[in-house]
Amino acid sequence: MSGLRFELVRAAGLRSTWLLVGLGLGVHTLVTGAVAAFVAYGPAPAGGYTPVDVARLVVSGPPFLPLAAAILGAVLGGMDHRHRLLELSLLVTPRRGRLLAGKAALVTLAAAALAVAGVLAACALLAATGLPLGGVRADLVLGQVARVLAWGLGALMLALALRSQTAAVVAVVAGAFLVEPAVRAATTAAPRGWWTHVPDHLVFASFDGLVPTATGGVFTSAARPGPASAALVTCAALGLLTWGAWRSLRGGGARGRGGAAVA
């Protein structure tokens, strides 16, 4: 059985998979609807919103889809260690590389589906509130998909490296919503220097930076690093996490024939 097929069968049989997907989409839709209603009927800034502003705020503003993808990735990544099923998984998929690739492919599919569903829901809300759809460009949609993928894959590899679902979820939430904002606040309060650009190159800031940011209207961060810079940091972070996951898989689980580990 291929690694992807094995992981698909297992994930489809877990209630937590469907709960996380449904909850993530539900919360995202509710918050996105509130943002769309505020933009449509609330007070507008000086000069108003451009169509790109509207799309950026509604389509990729709320962080709930990336967070849902991260939690799903952590749950699927740490499942074998939590339930002591790694040896069974290696009996079905003996090669650790194929097992890791199967998990990554599953999270990629799930995260991409979440992102696309979120974009479609946002477009429906834009149309329902009479807001323009002209700002929903291909680069914005692709950036949002890449953002959700990065969060999901990062959490998957972190859970595999740490061999714990809980530790991975705590690390993601603490890193994204406590540590990085604290670093940004500290560097903002400090005198200007090279260190003021550090927060834009942290891991989760780079994941979010995959979404192109408008430089006009309500967005004035023209000097912020663009998607190319964010992509470099994202690739480096995911590469390091994948290496850690691979090392963790090689260090545990079943042995191959003759007692040698199957790579």
pLDDT in tens, 50-79: 787 788 888 887 788 899 999 999 988 887
Helix (H) or strand (E) holding 62: none
Residues 6 or more apart whose CB falls under 8 angstroms from that of 255 comprise 261, 262
Residue 36 lies in a domain: yes
DSSP 188-249: HHSPSSGGGGGGGGSHHHHHHTTS---SSTT---TTS--HHHHHHHHHHHHHHHHHHHHHHH
Q: How far is CA 252 from the centre of its chain?
A: 27
Residue 39 lies in a domain: yes
Residue 38 lies in a domain: yes
> How many folded domains does the chain comprise?
1
Residue 112 lies in a domain: yes
Residue 260 lies in a domain: no
Backbone angles phi, psi at 210, to 5 degrees: -65, -20
Who has greater pLDDT, 136 or 170?
170
85 by Cβ neighbours in 10 Å (0-12 / 13-18 / 19+) ranks as middle
Residues 171-195: pLDDT tens digits? 999 999 999 899 888 887 777 777 7
Asked if pLDDT for residue 241 goes beyond 90, the answer is yes
Q: By residue range, what is the domain housing residue 185?
A: 3-252
Residue 42 lies in a domain: yes
What pLDDT shows up at residue 108? 94
Place of tokens 């000097």: 223
Residue 263 lies in a domain: no
CA dihedral for 80, 172, 167, 18, sign (positive or negative): negative
CA distance 6 to 33: 37
